[in-house]
Every structure is written in structure tokens, then in C-alpha cells.
Amino acid sequence: MCGRLLQITPPEALAHAYGVPSFLVKVPLETHPRYNVAPSQPLLAVRLTPDGERELVPLTWGLVPRWSKEPKTPYSTINARAETVAGKPAFRDAFRRRRCLIPADGFYEWRQNPTGNTTGKQPFRILAKDGQPLTFAGLWERWEGEGHAPVESCSIIVTAANAFMAPIHDRMPAMLMPEDWPAWLDPTTAADTLNRLLKYPTPMRGTLL
């Protein structure tokens, strides 16, 4: 799955790479590089405004559905499986209407010790082969409840591992090519197109930590 990642590219560089106007960068430009972002912490993400422009915003990692009674969930929503995301109650509405791009300079995964000893897992840092940020397919949601501040949150979609990742883990984040970003962000994109976008095999490299 995906439970730790890196976001070290400065916000202004992300805005340039993802076509976000400077006035729609909703995070401090002095944001410090983060080498081990964990669930419940904010992730920088790119989404569309109601006017159809791209904005860069922080979203809490762990999607809170609109229908949740509390500003958190009793189960994990940091990842959504590509095979079932369209039908799962926690994700299906966001999948239809509120998709986002989550830039990551890499992510961490742990390979099971061949002996099956869970205390002997090996951590790997996974990076793009060209050294540029990876782009994860994400979902976002806004939760509002009486007596609570609104919560904007997100989930990373995961899919079956490609040939590179398979020896490390059977799942990996679903990644998108730049030419597919407009279709992923567009709330009118058809479901069959979205499903096709979730199967792109990104070239990657890994480092044993």
C-alpha cells in the first residue's frame, strides 16, 4: 500500500510543474521539505477550483467521507483500492467528482523478511527513475459538522504492483502521466477512462534504507 512518502519539492516549483497560478498556491512558500510524511498529516495536493483552475492546497491524509458523524473515521482511509474505489461508500462520491493529484518525491515500502518474521521487514525508498516527482492519483473530500471546523482530506489510490515493485510489495500507488492530469481532474471524465488511467506503469528505482 502507501503509508509514508516524501514531499520535498518547494511549493513554487510544484505550482510551476502542475500549472497552478501563483495566486492559487494555498500553502506557505517557505514550507519545509518533509522526508517522512505520515497518515493524519497534511499532504500537498493539486485540485480544481469551482472555476476550473488548478490550486495547490494542503489536505489531511486520511479521507473523511461527507456522511461521517465525526471529523475522523474508525477505519483506515489513507488508501483506496483502484479495483473497488468506484463502489466503496467511503470513496465513491469523491471518485466521481473530487479527484486530485498528489505530488511525491518518493515513497517508502517495507519488504517482508523471507522467513516471515514481521520484525525483520526491510524498508525501501522508491523514487522516479528520472528523479522528478511522482504524481499519485488521489481523491479529496470536505467534511463539515456542527461544532467542528471543516476538514479537507484525501486518499491515495493504490493498484497492483508493477514488475519493479512486485518483489517488494504486491500493491503500489496509482500514478499518472502529465498528459493525463486534465482528464483525472475533470469531474466529467467517464469512469472507463478513469479506470484506464489507474493502470499506468511508471518507471521507478529503489534504495534499500
Catalytic positions are 2, 109
Rounded CA separation 17/14 (Å): 5
Largest CA distance in the chain: 54
Task: Quote the CA–CA distance of 38 and 78 in Å, as a whole number.
Answer: 10
